[in-house]
Structure 1
Amino acid sequence: METGREASAAIRIRPLEREDLKFVHGLDNNANVMRYWFEEPYEAFVELQDLYNKHIHDQSERRFIVDHQGQNVGLVELVEIDYIHRRAEFQIIIDPAWQNHGFATAAAKLAMAYAFDALNLYKLYLVVDNENVRAIHVYSKLGFQAEGVLIHEFFANGAYHDATRMCIFQHEYRSLYGSDSGPAAALPGDGPDPVR
């Protein structure tokens, strides 16, 4: 069995492709996953295909499959990319069957490298359910800091939930991770294994 470090070393991110939609559809219809995305676990496959077709050329988002040795284990997204203010929202889902292997941390680092080095963004932010203590721990460990609490921001499972908006800036990222995580480490498709 792989340790978390060995498993995360084999992680790479690559652009979401049409053939990945079945995997994403499974995540989008999993109540345990969608509860933390503040969305109803209900999406028809044709709806997902339509969204993919609509957004395939949208420059305000980048969606990546988290790949572990050829197996789809998650999805990481940079959405609402704003090239004037140089910011984007960060989102990640790791398939519940693949959680607790360090994949979220590894994939997040790759997405952060892509955002800050390849896209030259200044700020990444995210919104996390205050009850999702594990995610908050991972984000804090990665260098994200709380910006504020959003009171009763989302309705899920019959109740309103508070959420925390967290962020990290490019200079903070570079201070934590240096510049050798640069674009070559994050760009999908560079070499046989662009992720270290």
Structure 2
Amino acid sequence: MGNFTSMIHIRRAEISDAAQLQRVFASGGTYAGTLQLPHPTTEIWQERLEKTDPNDTRLVAIYDGVVVGMASLHMEKKQRRSHVASLGMGVADSFSGRGIGTALLTELLNLSDNWLNLLRIELTVFCDNTAAIHLYKKFGFEKEGTMRAYAFRNGQYVDSYAMARLHPRQAMIPLREF
């Protein structure tokens, strides 16, 4: 696996990645793990990439010249939450479990911790997405709550966890029970 992961290249997403991102998010497991709908078009991805907020970060994972995953940080717009970003991520089904998510998260969290001065990264993940939950926990994300009937997927409502990670130097801030 070490040899495979050394062949993964991470870079900023470009508008020219639209067709390859469409293929990544057309994977059944990928869109089922996100809030995306089945059958995305290249035009949808091109528009998303063109309209990316300049304060947000979208990274792609490249393996053998092909985009195989994407992760993004969306900065909070409210001034009092300027220390927060939300994370979104997707990896092509055929590359799941091969270190793509680890490579993407490593780079996003490096940016978050060392360049963007973010304190808190938030995400939602479906409760049945055990691989993603394991990955997020490996990077210090903690479950903060369960959102019941969070989204409609494959004919039924499914629950999601709210997870977050505080910057490692700030992780000593105690959580209060409510």
Structure 1 and Structure 2 fold alike (TM over 0.5): yes
Superposition TM-score, scaled by structure 2 size: 0.85
**Once structures 1 and 2 are overlaid, which stretch shifts more, 46-55 or 124-133?**
46-55
Please give the residue correspondences for 1:19-38 in structure 2 after superposition, counting only pairs within 5 Å: 19-38=16-35
* Unaligned 5+ runs, structure 2: 173-178
Instruction: Indicate conservation of the 8 Å contact 2:25/2:90, yes or no.
Output: no
Match of 2:69 in 1: 74
Please give the residue correspondences for 1:65-144 in structure 2 after superposition, counting only pairs within 5 Å: 65-82=60-77, 84=79, 85=81, 86-144=83-141
Of residues 45, 50, 75, the one that matches 2:47 is 50
Instruction: Indicate conservation of the 8 Å contact 2:24/2:67, yes or no.
Output: no
Q: 1:106 to 1:44 in 2, by over 3 A?
A: closer
Q: 1:31 to 1:108 in 2, by over 3 A?
A: same
* Unaligned 5+ runs, structure 1: 176-196
Identity of aligned residues (%): 23
Q: 1:19 to 1:123 in 2, by over 3 A?
A: same
Q: 1:139 to 1:114 in 2, by over 3 A?
A: same
CA distance in 2 between counterparts of 1:7 and 1:83 reads 40
**C-alpha deviations, 1:53-93, integer Å up to 9, x for none?**
222xx134211111235432211111244473211111111
Match of 1:186 in 2: none
CA distance in 2 between counterparts of 1:61 and 1:26 reads 22
Q: Between Structure 1 and Structure 2, how many residues are aligned? A: 170
Q: Which has the higher contact order (CA 8 A, sep 6+)?
A: 1
Structure 1 position 59 matched with structure 2 position 54: yes
Instruction: Indicate conservation of the 8 Å contact 1:78/1:89, yes or no.
Output: yes
Indicate the RMSD between aligned Cα atoms, in angstroms: 2.1
